[in-house]
A = this chain, B = another copy of it.
Amino acid sequence: MIDPIILFFLLGLGAALLRSELRLPAVIYDFLSIVLLLSIGLKGGIELSKQPFGALLPQILAVTAMGFLLPLVAFPVLHRLGRFKRADSASIAAHYGSVSVGTYAVAVAYLGNRNIAFEEHLPLLLVVLEVPAILVGIVLARGFSRQMRWGEVTHEVFLGKGIVLLIGGLLIGWIAGPQGVASIEPLFFDLFKGVLALFLLEMGILTAAQVGSLRKYGLFLLGFGIAMPLFSAVVGVVLGWLLGLSVGGTAMLGILAASASYIAVPAAMRISVPEANPTLSLTAALGITFPFNVLVGIPLYYAFAVQAHSFFGG
């Protein structure tokens, strides 16, 4: 059975490709993302309130390391093989090292539909994964120049809308706990999938807008946009297995690794690495990798996780 939220994505994509005038107002898109980010944060925070934070530290460190590693793998591929300019390679690498909240949300729905449990603190790992790749991307583009205003960069990265809402939601969920949050559940949890459906409708429209540039940038980008998430998913799945996550959690870490940012990173790169062409990275992350992950990747990465657990043993 195909999840209706995927159908909403296809509806948006199809309508836009047929040049329908359908669009969601930008402020509504904004509003829907705010609700999604807070929901995900709250969910994670509630779970954090139930377990000792210390126990998560190893996972946090390991995932941070992965966040530093992935863009370092992607960069030479883009720069050498793809012959992209240094700045462009760095920026694209940063997008792929970071994560996509939309993809995560679709994965939550996917596992939820199949009653596959996963560690509820994954939103925390999502937050953790947002940041390192951005720093790596900046350093790859600029070097460790003294001219870099690191204060500004840190501000840009940690106080961007996405991270503030995720961390804010986490903290609120953590402090208020399950009972506290109960009163706001009808908005943030019961409507979650409906909100996600509308969000994906607009994502489909935005994805269609990248198709034009896709043709322009050619096959290498297309290949990269599919191969890179596959590679990252394997890394994420293996790491998840090593960390002792459940099958669901392992799949989730694979999905996070495979996803490419199109909110936090584009904004940060635009300011910190201005000479990188944003069309290039958005075409890859939004035009190729997002639909690939949503339509094909998520079930695939879940299969990876099942394999890993049955092969290596739970």
Chain B proximity of A108: nearest CB distance (Å): 11
Q: Is A172 part of the binding interface, using a Cβ–Cβ cutoff of 8 Å?
A: yes
Contact mask for chain A residues 170-183; partner B; CB cutoff 8 A; 1 contact, 0 none: 01110111011101
Tell me the complex Cα distance, A25–B24, Å. Answer: 14
Known A-B contacts A19-B155, A164-B15, A194-B186; the reply to A180 vs B30 at CB < 8 A is no
- By a CB distance below 8 angstroms, the chain B residues around A206 are none
- Judging by beta carbons under 8 Å apart, are A159 and B18 in contact? yes
- Judging by beta carbons under 8 Å apart, are A180 and B1 in contact? yes
Within 8 A of B (CB), among A154-192: 155, 159-161, 164-165, 168, 171-173, 175-177, 179-181, 183-188, 190-191
- Judging by beta carbons under 8 Å apart, are A30 and B19 in contact? no
Q: Is A7 part of the binding interface, using a Cβ–Cβ cutoff of 8 Å?
A: yes
- By a CB distance below 8 angstroms, the chain B residues around A1 are 176-177, 179-180
Known A-B contacts A188-B194, A194-B187, A198-B34; the reply to A180 vs B4 at CB < 8 A is yes
> How many of chain A's residues touch chain B, expressed as a range?
35 or more
Q: Is A22 part of the binding interface, using a Cβ–Cβ cutoff of 8 Å?
A: yes
Q: Is A290 part of the binding interface, using a Cβ–Cβ cutoff of 8 Å?
A: no
Tell me the complex Cα distance, A168–B109, Å. Answer: 21
- By a CB distance below 8 angstroms, the chain B residues around A195 are 187
Q: Is A197 part of the binding interface, using a Cβ–Cβ cutoff of 8 Å?
A: yes
Q: Is A209 part of the binding interface, using a Cβ–Cβ cutoff of 8 Å?
A: no
- By a CB distance below 8 angstroms, the chain B residues around A168 are 11, 15
Chain B proximity of A38: nearest CB distance (Å): 8
- By a CB distance below 8 angstroms, the chain B residues around A183 are 3-5, 109, 112-113, 193
- By a CB distance below 8 angstroms, the chain B residues around A112 are 183
Tell me the complex Cα distance, A180–B109, Å. Answer: 11
Query: Could you show 6 A-B contacts with beta carbons less than 8 Å apart?
Result: A1-B180, A2-B176, A4-B180, A11-B164, A28-B30, A186-B194
Within 8 A of B (CB), among A24-43: 24-25, 27-28, 30-31, 34-35
- By a CB distance below 8 angstroms, the chain B residues around A145 are none
- Judging by beta carbons under 8 Å apart, are B161 and A22 in contact? yes
Q: Nearest residue in B to A179 (C-beta to C-beta)?
A: B1
- Judging by beta carbons under 8 Å apart, are B180 and A3 in contact? yes
Tell me the complex Cα distance, A184–B5, Å. Answer: 8
Q: Is A241 part of the binding interface, using a Cβ–Cβ cutoff of 8 Å?
A: no
- By a CB distance below 8 angstroms, the chain B residues around A191 are 186-187, 191
Q: Is A8 part of the binding interface, using a Cβ–Cβ cutoff of 8 Å?
A: yes
- By a CB distance below 8 angstroms, the chain B residues around A27 are 25, 27-28
